[in-house]
Amino acid sequence: MGIYRRGNNWYLDFYYNGKRYKESVGSTSKSVAKEKLIIRKREVIQGEYKPKIIQMPFDKFSEQYLEYSKGNKKPKSHLRDQTSMKHLLKCFENRMLSEINPFLVEKYKLTRKSEGAKEGTINRELACLRHLFTLAVKWGKALTNPVKGIKFFKEPKAKDRILSEEEEARLLDAVRSTTKSQHLEPIIITALNTGMRKGEILNLKKTNVDFNNAYILVEGTKNGEFRKIPMNKKLTQTLRDVIGKSKSEFVFSENGKPYGDVKTGWWTVLKKAGIENFRFHDLRHTFGSRLGMAGVDLGTIQELMGHKDIKMTKRYSHPTPEHKKKAVEILDGTTPIFTPAVQKEERQKVVNIGNY
pLDDT number for residue 104:
97
Going along the chain from its start, the domains and CATH numbers come out as: 2-45 (no CATH), 58-138 (1.10.150), 165-317 (1.10.443.10)
pLDDT number for residue 25:
84
Percent of the chain with pLDDT over 70: 88
pLDDT number for residue 343:
45
Q: How confident is the model at residue 322 (pLDDT cuts 50, 70, 90)?
A: low
Q: Which residue has the higher pLDDT, 356 or 132?
A: 132
Rounded to whole angstroms, the Cα distance separating 135 from 62 reads: 11
Average pLDDT, the chain: 87
Q: How confident is the model at residue 145 (pLDDT cuts 50, 70, 90)?
A: very high
Residue 338: is its pLDDT beyond 50? no
Handedness of CA 327, 329, 333, 335 (dihedral sign): negative
Q: Residue 326 burial (CB < 10 Å; 0-12/13-18/19+)?
A: middle
Q: How confident is the model at residue 329 (pLDDT cuts 50, 70, 90)?
A: confident
pLDDT number for residue 242:
93
Rounded to whole angstroms, the Cα distance separating 25 from 152 reads: 38
pTM, two decimals, is: 0.59
CA dihedral 243, 255, 247, 264 (to 10 degrees): 0
Residue 165: is its pLDDT beyond 50? yes
pLDDT number for residue 334:
57
| Max avg pLDDT among 177-181, 191-195, 254-258, 334-338 | 191-195
Percent of the chain with pLDDT over 90: 56
At 294-313, the pLDDT tens digits run 888 999 999 999 988 888 88
Weakest mean pLDDT among 53-57, 75-79, 120-124, 204-208: 53-57
